[in-house]
Structure 1
Amino acid sequence: MNTYDPSQFTILVVEDHKFSRKALLNMLLQTGYENILSAKNGNEAIEKIRQNNIDLVITDINMPLCNGLELIKHIRENTDHKTQVTSIIAVTTLSDTDTIASCMTLEVDAFLVKPITVQNTQDQIKSAMTEPKRLYQQHLYCDVKTDVQLPTGKKTDKQGEPRIREVSSHVIHISSLADLQDGMVILDNIVATTGGCLLKAGTRLNKKLLRRLNELSSIIDVHPFYARMDETQLAS
């Protein structure tokens, strides 16, 4: 679904806190969304996805029984193609970089950053529902860790980490996120200002990851680094 018509899709809100769940449901109803379901945890959400035609899942991360990362991974690894490409919005905080990194690998369609506002919710739902329904990283899903940990706030020591170089490739100096392109392989970790790694060195960028990086630009530690573009991709 690449057109945005709120009357034509069903939203599933997954949130374990009753007050937060009701607040988000009321916010959606008051802004014109009609087809809305809710679940208290990932297990209940999975059952509702089985029983209903869900177009968009908005899920919190820190939940009992089955957390948000486990739910997202379940959806992405589902053998049913329609379920695989279900749009997903992850509700998180910008300080939770481990979770953000896992969500990016699992190719969520948007982030909804706490505290949630009406305008931000509307913007991110529209972004998620108009996102091209193509997945690039299925081969990485099985390696995603779904443990939810509180951020420590400590910066990691980037010195001594391996840097990837290939003589046969065109290496490009990157000074800002705007220099990144679809198909590039980043040769250094992209990290948050708190030190958490968002994308590891060796990741090949695609349009979906570039959109996520743009959304997260305010928390990314931007410093000069290198990326590689394979010669075959540079050929005209």
Structure 2
Amino acid sequence: MSALDYLSMKIVVIEDDIYIRQVIIRLLRQVGFRSIYEASDGKSGIEQVIRTRPDIILCDIHMEPMNGLDFLKALRNFKHPTLSTLPVIFLTSDAQSETVVAARDLDVSGYIAKPVSVRQLKEKLDSVLLK
């Protein structure tokens, strides 16, 4: 398994809770990311993804006005193949089966339960990005 160069990668964090978003960004810096972009809901997340063209996206599920499932659906429906296939990892405390099934059906790349540790985050990022 080869090591990933997180220094050269871009990531978008979509999370409506500013405190949690700041914690995730701090953890990502510990993992090695330097190009971290943020959004507070799915709608601004779409705009940020179009603007920054990240390598990967971390996204909460429960947000307003556009939640994570709607964000992922919109992303997968993009005509641009580079954007529509971007890996998305959901960060959520929601483990309800209907949410998990909906996320899987929209081709989510991974799931991390909150609260997240730096070790869990790195392991999930490595597994998704090394596919």
The CA distance in 1 between the partners of 2:108 and 2:49, in whole Å, is 17
TM-superposed CA distance for 1:94, in Å, is 5.9
AA matched with 2:46: I
Aligned residues: 130
The aligned counterpart of 1:20 is: 20
The aligned counterpart of 1:47 is: 47
The CA distance in 2 between the partners of 1:3 and 1:88, in whole Å, is 20
Written as runs of structure 1 = structure 2, the 5 A alignment for 1:150-189 is none
* Residue pair 1:109, 1:127 contacting (<8 A) in 2 also: no
Tell me how large the CA RMSD over aligned residues is: 1.6
Would the alpha carbon gap of residues 106 and 3 (structure 1) be closer, same or farther in structure 2, given more than 3 Å must change?
farther
TM-superposed CA distance for 1:3, in Å, is 7.3
TM-score scaled to structure 2, two decimals?
Answer: 0.92
Q: State, as a whole percentage, how many aligned pairs show the same letter.
A: 25
Give the unaligned 5+ runs of structure 1: 132-236
* Residue pair 1:13, 1:59 contacting (<8 A) in 2 also: yes
AA matched with 1:130: L
The CA distance in 1 between the partners of 2:80 and 2:120, in whole Å, is 30
**Partner secondary structure for residue 115 of structure 1:** coil
Q: Compare CA radii of gyration and give the structure with the larger one.
A: 1
TM-score scaled to structure 1, two decimals?
Answer: 0.52
* Residue pair 2:8, 2:33 contacting (<8 A) in 1 also: no
- List structure 1 segments (4+ residues) > 4 angstroms apart after TM superposition: none
Structure with more helix by fraction? 2
AA matched with 1:6: Y
My pick for the range that moved more, 3-12 or 122-131, is 3-12
Give the unaligned 5+ runs of structure 2: none
* Residue pair 1:3, 1:129 contacting (<8 A) in 2 also: no
The aligned counterpart of 1:124 is: 124
Written as runs of structure 1 = structure 2, the 5 A alignment for 1:213-224 is none
Is it true that 1:109 corresponds to 2:109 in the alignment? yes
* Residue pair 2:17, 2:40 contacting (<8 A) in 1 also: yes
